[in-house]
Amino acid sequence: MRKLGIPSGSLQDSTIKLLEKVGIGIRVNGRQFKIEIKNFSLFSEVIIMRPQDIPKAVADGLLDAGLCGWDWVVESEMDQQVEKIGELWYGKKTREAVKVVVIGKSKELRDGPDVRVTSEYPVLARRLFPKAKIDFSHGGSEQKVAYLGYDYAVCVTETGKSIIENGLHIVKVILKSPTVLIARERNPEIIRFWELLKGGLNSEQYVLVKMNVRKECLSDVLSVIPAFNSPTVNDLRKRGFAIEALVKKTLMAELIMRLREKGAEGIIAHNVDVVL
């Protein structure tokens, strides 16, 4: 009876979509915090939790594994109490890691009893500002620095757009925080689960290209395919071959043009859900 914790808030929807993308049946019942899971025997329950609470829940054995930002593992000082199985580079808006940063009106970083800091991460803030006055922040850090007299804020940013729009600067990047899969211990099943999720993210970069090729065109067509692995070539019942190749999406348009030039026919490009 294993339990998986997933984060509420900004990562909830993207995490659920990733689980569904790799074939794990998910059913969210209204505002309940327990998610029904189908077609996947590794976990019996999925619990939606505040990401700040997931690292300690894993360390205490209340969860067998959890998905959350690495920032909350470090902030909760659980980075030595849990195992980081692997990183998963996705956020609310992008496929980049968010960053925990110090922001201010200038690019100068100073500390002292006269310095006032508002922080969503008091533990991380205290490491950087051992002498300053630190107030806990529930969010809205940019406005507190811009308009309420704070010297600095320690907060999280994904794109940095709000910081720039408020006339502020990133003074220092404290850490990059990808989403991570954590567990009480490393075991083969949990590692394979991370690989499955990573494969779901990797698949966004690829398409599966299928085509038919006459015998006399085979060598020319194969010469232009930049496949992820060697292309699959099967004899057709009639004359010619069927070819499949996994290729980067960024190369697809140019590739299809060249395949047609080399004599490929019946070309189809499919999105894929998992690439391992």
Pick the CATH number of 204-271 from 1.10.630.10, 2.60.40.420, 3.30.70.120, 3.60.20.10: 3.30.70.120
Kindly tell me if the per-residue pLDDT of 66 is higher than 80: yes
pLDDT mean over 154-166? 89
* pLDDT value at residue 3: 94
* pLDDT value at residue 222: 95
The more confidently predicted of residues 91 and 104 is 104
Mean pLDDT of the chain: 92
Residues 6+ apart with CB under 8 A from 56: 76, 78
* 8 A C-beta contact, residue 88 and residue 179: yes
Q: Pairing state of beta strands 152-157 and 116-119? A: parallel
The CB-side HSE value for 151 (13 A sphere, CA atoms) comes to: 16
* 8 A C-beta contact, residue 183 and residue 64: yes
Categorize the per-residue pLDDT at 74 as very low, low, confident or very high, splitting at 50, 70 and 90: very high
The dihedral through the CA atoms of 22, 24, 25, 27 has a sign that is: negative
Residues 6+ apart with CB under 8 A from 126: 134
Place of tokens 């006339």: 167
The more confidently predicted of residues 108 and 33 is 108
Q: Under CATH, which architecture does the 98-177 domain have?
A: 3-Layer(aba) Sandwich (3.40)
Domain ranges for the chain, please list them: 3-93+178-186, 98-177, 204-271
Kindly tell me if the per-residue pLDDT of 30 is higher than 80: no
Pick the CATH number of 3-93+178-186 from 3.20.20.70, 3.40.190.10, 3.30.420.80, 3.90.1150.10: 3.40.190.10
Radius of gyration, CA atoms only, the chain: 24
Categorize the per-residue pLDDT at 96 as very low, low, confident or very high, splitting at 50, 70 and 90: confident
* pLDDT value at residue 170: 95
pLDDT mean over 178-184? 96
> Six-digit token pair at 103?
């922001």
Same fold, 98-177 and 204-271: no
Categorize the per-residue pLDDT at 219 as very low, low, confident or very high, splitting at 50, 70 and 90: very high
The answer to pTM > 0.75 is yes
Residues 6+ apart with CB under 8 A from 106: 169, 171
* 8 A C-beta contact, residue 75 and residue 121: yes
